[in-house]
Amino acid sequence: MSSPHILILGAPGAGKGTQSANIVDEFGVEHVTTGDALRSNKEMDISDMEFEYDTPGEYMDAGDLVPDAVVNAIVEEALSTADGYVLDGYPRNLEQAEELADMTDLDLVLYLDVDRSELLDRLTGRRVCEDCGANYHVKYNQPETEGVCDECGGELVQREDDTEEAAENRLDVFEENTLPVVEYYEDTDEFVAVDGEQTPDEVWTDVRAAIEAATE
Ligand code: AP5
């Protein structure tokens, strides 16, 4: 098979970014992530599109979804140049899932299943490197020196949407908008659910096995 087309689904904090990094290292595919793409364009002027807010960043910091028209264009552009990919953060509602079906075929749809209380703990405890974006956690994945990135020495900070209030809202938005997307894929042959409450290494063992089975 040519390079795989993998979709990774899961609530905020389920471990999509963590496992996507493993997938990129092992299978050499591109990481197409709407969260990172939007964070790089937080100040983009979308005022002429007559949405509620004038920039993507205002939606993101509140934990709300950025309008579909903005996100669909980002994903379509990224997938058009990717050979194999792991798609992370999209689709987040049924309208986006229908757009995606028109853009590409999928070889595997992975769903990382994690309980809400665990998700909240992971989100509020996450710290990210402001230079290279590496992910840590105050309890589960500590750096060697507190507050300093092991990879590049950059400062570790909390994402603005990882405060308790924004994180709770993101989980509400997930349950309302994105759980129907999980149900949309659940009955397809490509769907594989993984227990995302295991340790990161155990989750990776299951994720890798699912990719190998889908691509053999
Ligand atoms: P985005 O950046 O995509 O955030 P998210 O989906 O909320 O996901 P996260 O990055 O928070 O979590 P993750 O699943 O990657 O978990 P991670 O591996 O980091 O989106 C941000 C915002 O952008 C959205 O709110 C929205 O505004 C906008 N947006 C993005 N896409 C959009 C779209 N399609 N449409 C509209 N708007 C869109 O892990 C979390 C923590 O847990 C880390 O600290 C990690 O170390 C730890 N951890 C990971 N795995 C484990 C484990 N197995 N055990 C213990 N700890 C673990």
- Per-residue HEC secondary structure of the chain comes to CCCCEEEEEECCCCCHHHHHHHHHHHHCCEEEEHHHHHHCCCCCCCHHHCCCCCCHHHHHHHCCCCCHHHHHHHHHHHHHHCCCEEEECCCCCHHHHHHHHHHCCCCEEEEEECCHHHHHHHHHHEEEECCCCCEEECCCECCCCCCECCCCCCEEECCHHHCHHHHHHHHHHHHHHHHHHHHHHHCCCCEEEEECCCCHHHHHHHHHHHHHHHHC
> Can you tell me the mean pLDDT for 111-130?
96
Q: Is 181 annotated as a binding residue?
A: no
> For a pocket test of ligand 1, which of 8, 24, 34 has the largest count of ligand atoms closer than 8 A to its C-beta?
34
**CATH 3.40.50.300: does it fit domain 5-115+178-215?**
yes
Q: Quote the tokens at residue 31.
A: 């990481």
pLDDT (0 to 100) of residue 155: 98
Is 116 one of the catalytic residues? Answer: no
Q: Which atom of ligand 1 is nearest to the CA of 173?
A: 25
pLDDT (0 to 100) of residue 45: 93
For residue range 1-54, list pLDDT tens digits in order. Answer: 678 999 999 999 999 999 999 999 999 999 999 999 999 899 999 998 888 999
Backbone angles phi, psi at 28, to 5 degrees: 65, 20
Q: Is 122 annotated as a binding residue?
A: no
Angstrom CA distances, 211 to 58, 88, 198, stand at: 36, 15, 18
Residue 91: asked if its preceding bond is cis (omega within 30°), the reply is: yes
pLDDT (0 to 100) of residue 42: 93
| 14 pocket-lining for ligand 1 (C-beta < 6 Å) | yes
Q: Is 96 annotated as a binding residue?
A: yes
- What's the gap in Å between 7 CA and the centre of ligand 1? 14
Contact 190, 8 (CB under 8 A): no
| 84 pocket-lining for ligand 1 (C-beta < 6 Å) | no
Task: Provide the angle, in degrees to the nearest 10, between the axes of the packed helices 94-103 and 179-186.
Answer: 50
Q: Quote the tokens at residue 24.
A: 């990129």
| 90 pocket-lining for ligand 1 (C-beta < 6 Å) | yes
Tell the residue nearest (CA) to atom 42 of ligand 1. 122
CB atoms within 10 A of CB 57: 18
For residue range 135-179, list pLDDT tens digits in order. Answer: 899 998 899 999 999 999 999 999 999 999 999 999 999 999 999
pLDDT (0 to 100) of residue 1: 61
Angstrom CA distances, 18 to 49, 58, 71, 90, 156, stand at: 34, 25, 22, 16, 16
